Amino acid sequence: MSSATSPADARAAPPPDAPAEVVAHAVPAARRVAPPTDPVLATGRRGQPVAWWGLAWLIATEAMLFGGLLSAWFFVRANTPEWPQGGIEPPELPRIGVFTVVLLASSLPLFWGEAAIRRGQVGRLRLALAISFLLGAAFLFHQGLEYTELAFGARDNAYASLFWTITALHGLHVAVGLVMSLVVQVKAATRRIDADHHMTVKIFSLYWHFVDVVWIAVFSSLYLSTHLR
């Protein structure tokens, strides 16, 4: 049986006891494969990086958590003749309505900022992040103020417990988002984000949009629907 090694390969083959450097240089150039430099390709993956998928799974988990709490809210309400329970007044809508708009508006600068950084405009990204942060912080400040004005505690009844739990959990997510925003702002200020390296911005924006979408469900369930008899 004839050997599959070509004469050129036979001439290039080093002796068995040759040093590793000689072996590396003896391999024909056509057979050399450069190691991937892209972190996504380096892991043998295509599409989104691991960090993006990690956040996607986290969002799915948190969505189920909020879904369970809101389901409990409507279950208790369906089995309670009086809602809110214990003579508690329904929450007032005007002020929380304004701050709902404030929170939802905080997502708009992020869309602008993502588009800007894809063009390498770091300054506009920093401005977008700052605006979004201030709007989110204003919402969180209002939530703290609202807690000081509530006439019921978390242990008063099922309505009160669910109201405090759901709104506090969402407020915690807003606080986490604000910390994430600060991290991204520091990275942008130190020039560690540019047109080719901005996955941090994409991941943070995804999380913040999730927080906003959850608030739509919370506001509709705990505030708007409570006024429906």
Q: What value does the mean pLDDT take over residues 23-51? A: 52
Q: What value does the mean pLDDT take over residues 2-18? A: 51
pLDDT tens for each residue of 166-192: 999 999 999 999 999 999 999 999 999
Give yes or no for a contact between 66 and 169, defined as CB atoms under 8 angstroms apart.
Answer: yes
| For residue 39, pLDDT beyond 70 | no
pLDDT tens for each residue of 66-90: 999 999 999 999 999 999 999 999 9
Model confidence band, residue 149 (pLDDT cutoffs 50, 70, 90):
very high
Q: Which domains can be identified in the chain, with CATH numbers?
A: 7-33 (no CATH), 48-227 (1.20.120.80)
SS3 annotation, 118-178: HCCCHHHHHHHHHHHHHHHHHHHHHHHHHHHHCCCCCCCCHHHHHHHHHHHHHHHHHHHHH
What does the alpha-carbon distance between residue 176 and residue 149 come to, in Å, rounded to a whole number? 24
Contacts of 104 (CB under 8 A, 6+ apart): 212, 215, 216
Residue appearing with tokens 């409507």: 74
Query: For residue 29, what pLDDT is reported?
Result: 45
CA distances from 56 to 179, 207, 210 (A): 19, 9, 10
Highest mean predicted confidence (pLDDT) among 10-24, 32-46, 193-207: 193-207
Between residues 47 and 99, the one the model is more confident about: 99
Give yes or no for a contact between 126 and 185, defined as CB atoms under 8 angstroms apart.
Answer: yes
CA dihedral 211, 216, 217, 220 (to 10 degrees): 150
Instruction: State what percent of residues in the chain have pLDDT above 70.
Output: 79
Query: For residue 199, what pLDDT is reported?
Result: 92
